[in-house]
Structure 1
Amino acid sequence: MALLARRVRPDDWKPIGVDALEANAMKVVSSTDNRSVIAGPGAGKTELLAQRAAYLLQTGMAPPPRRILAISFKRDAATNLAARVRQRCHRSHAGRLDSMTFDAFAKGLVDRFGQALPERWRPRPDYELMFPNDTAFRGFLFQDVGTPPKAIGSYADLQAISIKTFERSLLVGSPLPVLGWPDPTVGQWAADRFWQSSLHEGKKTFLSFPMIGRLAELLLRVNPMARDAMRLTYSHLFMDEFQDTTQIQYDLVRTIFLGTDAVITAVGDNKQQIMRWAMAMDDPFSAFDADFSGKRTPLYNNYRSSPELVRIQHVLAQALDARAVEPVSKTATTIAGESCAIWDFSSPEIEAHRLARFVAAEMKAHALGPRDFVLLVRQKAVDYAAVLEPAFRASGIPLRNEAGTVGAVMLQELLAEEVSELLVKVLRLAMTKRAGLSFGLQY
């Protein structure tokens, strides 16, 4: 069905591309206040945001020329949301949604307005990205930075700083002071030395994404014109995967939108906080509700898991939060017998052969293929693959390690880029019959 670029009365608007939304989801879609949406696995978090974007754009609740900003933690989530909105809206409407990652948003601000930063914090325009690890920070603290001035502290004080504390708490842990730290501790002195050496003391400026996030927040704090430009541009803000938000990212959002008329929708699962090792906040939902008067709204439906799996998931959810409400499965049971089991093996080799035999039997019984199965491991997938691959090969099943090489990870990242999508479509147009459909061409 063709999607028309026409205005729809809010009372006449209906969900697009789905049969219906649960009651709380519809409340969020049409809300005019700030919402923090708690939604578990399979609740349709991305679909909720896509429907909300369609509602706001098609009813005029997000009036042109103002836009909707959607920021996510991962690139594939941002790409997926933009694609869903394009499927549900006319292109003139969908074109007013900017969907990107937090890192891309912050980098765009620094690239456009970075030269308006105070000289102390101003990067060179041709700065390069860096990805420092614990080894790099350890080398800086214990070798490169030298001995602090006696009035500040001693070398022993410097050595007492843990590597994790240095980056998380000192380097990017709080908003940057415009004039630098007036009476620095040893840790603040070391953090300032890292900043100044990265910004000014080499032939080029080198910045990590967390550092770029802090510079973006600073430039909007000291440059009201740039900050007001953001406020005038965006009438609504979506934050997907909000449970993974870092303090850096949250401070940037707060500097831009706190006290404005922008309506914010933060969506995530507070029981899936797996990114705390990457500086995610302990409880971003409570901070958001307090700062932005967010109205907490849970989603209850699960469109992905069978009733048996939902029951098991709820047991785990209650272990994390005794107040967790059991979701309602909207998926029919598709298998007979156990939906979940715990197996114990005496060695990795026995485990590998048992898994291979199980997968082979399930493939034969249900006419499935290798791509219908996935093996998840806790860490170091390459080590597990070395044991699993011979056993699966013996059963005639190919095994692919998705995280086995840097090249595989880079390929996944590249395929999410718009230019990669364009090249794939051009190749398909050139090499296959009736490929014009890839460009929306009709025959």
Structure 2
Amino acid sequence: MKGDIKDPNLRELGVKRILWADRQMPVLRKIRERFEKERPLEGRRMSACLHVTTETANLARTLKAGGADLVLCASNPLSTQDDVAAALTLEFGIPTYAVRGEDRDTYYAHIRAAVEHRPDVTMDDGADLVSVIHSDYPELHDQVVASMEETTTGVIRLRAMEKDGALKFPVVAVNDADCKHLFDNRYGTGQSTIDGILRATNVLLAGKVFVVAGYGWCGRGVANRARGLGARVVVTEVEPLRALEAVMDGFEVMPMAEAAKVGDLFCTLTGDIHVLRREHFEVMKDGALVANSGHFNVEIDIPALEGLAERVEKGVRPNVDGYVLADGRRIFVLGEGRLINLAAAEGHPASVMDMSFAVQALTTEWAIRNAGKLEAKVYGVPQEIDAWVARLKLETMGVAIDTLTEEQEKYLSSWEMGT
């Protein structure tokens, strides 16, 4: 058996859950039906490094339906759903290298297994796959015709590579598509992050001071949903325009040095390193809850917290570790500082991932159709893909919209007519 999964006996449960999610992904399902007929990915070897969830499984099924010879590995050690990995490998014939809770060595061994599939198309969720190819597999640099990147963090890394002249093949920033970040990042992250925090802690958010670090689309989603549950939301930012937006949206904005003193619960969503660090832990309240919903666990400086702690109480609750400081205060870290919405919950709802993965599938088709024409740089998703996905999503929701009249189209395309 190709792949590395935790338990083959989880196959049946995984199939049921994948098909349940598929019912809520009508746009992706429509693409899969077309792909089965047209086979636009025929003959392509694909490696994907993604969160192994029910929604991802339906993207993987769509890529395979299009003809891709696909291998999947996990993009986060705590985001894998073991029943989904079993179902993909054993039921749907997509070799999957992912075991929830795998250590760092296993995580990178799984990425290398995906790379050794010798792909000419890749798909990434955080740019780890692309980074390993660039660092350790120079023979693949000219073979990969395109890669798709789905996260803010990954796009940041890839743009840095492009700027330094280190990027060796074309990458499409799927994260920057409107049908992705305006919905997945905002509504998906907003709901699933709160879901993960509540599953891990079962705390009442009403009345709590909830500190949101970062006011990008993910931060906006979390801030709004926390406010909706009655929390007093404080936003921290480094970008003046985003900070101004947060103020105008009705949130308190202050530096983290001040927020650390008043917060009951903290969630980082920046894509940067050490957003919460030693000087912040030193002034936090006893019982402060610390979580991350940015891609990597580096947003919280856990080694610094370990250095301050006299002892660590592992597993206070599932996905909750307590750090006991010298003065007796406890700071609780959720999900080991990894993506809380996937570490403690199931990730984004299928209906919002329907749009993101529809964009992924269509962008993959577009990139393959343009193989050989793209340079080694970061591209945006073609606007017509965004528009098509949005139109079809509205249709599946039973929502109709207006169309421009001939007179209106003429007016918008002319300059002669004034007030």
After TM superposition, the score normalised by the length of structure 1 is 0.34
- TM-score where L is the length of structure 2: 0.35
Higher strand share: 2
- Indicate the structure (1 or 2) with the bigger Cα radius of gyration: 1
